[in-house]
Amino acid sequence: MGNLKDKINEDLKNAMKSGDKLKASVLKLLKTEITNEEVKNNREELSEEQLITVIQRAVKQRKESIEEYKKANKIDMAEKEEKELKILMEYLPEQLSEEEITQIVDKVIEEVGAESMKDMGKVMGKVMPLVKGKADGKIVNNIVRSKLN
């Protein structure tokens, strides 16, 4: 089973057979988002990288929802979103540790000769493609900020 889309389809079938309603609903939503993205791209099959971007968008939405639900003290809703988030994370590449991200950031800062916050854009522009799909942009942003301050 080479690609991500096949894995999602396969896992969806298995979730439906085994009666895992939550996983089935998360994967159905994900498939819809993938299909919508393909329609936007003139019905072209998405590359692995584009699939990861769609999944990351879904992950980001869940993270934002979790924060909102927690603020509103809707713990049961936050927990449901956390379970969905966990399912989605299975389809992303292994995430980098903060230490690994910091090493990449340090290297890029040295490469571009960044010295202050005004170099933030330059550093982020080089770091993000290196960690695409493997690190949360917020974490990267915080690490770059702490290094440039």
Assess whether pLDDT exceeds 70 at residue 56.
yes
Nearest to residue 128, comparing CAs of 80, 96, 84?
Answer: 96
For residue 36, the one-letter residue type is N
2 vs 48: CA distance, rounded Å? 10
98-148 belongs to CATH 3.40.630.10:
no
Q: What is the pLDDT of residue 33?
A: 94
Tokens 């005004």 sit on residue: 118
pLDDT digits (tens, 9 = 90+) for 74-84: 999 999 999 99
pTM of the model: 0.76
Domain positions in the chain are 4-89, 98-148
93 vs 132: CA distance, rounded Å? 9
* CA–CA distances in Å: residue 27 to residues 17, 95, 101: 13, 20, 29
The predicted model gives 119-146 an average pLDDT of: 90
Considering the four listed CATH numbers 1.10.1510.10, 3.20.20.70, 3.40.50.2300, 3.30.70.1280, the one that applies to the domain covering 4-89 is 1.10.1510.10
Q: What is the pLDDT of residue 1?
A: 36
Assess whether pLDDT exceeds 70 at residue 116.
yes
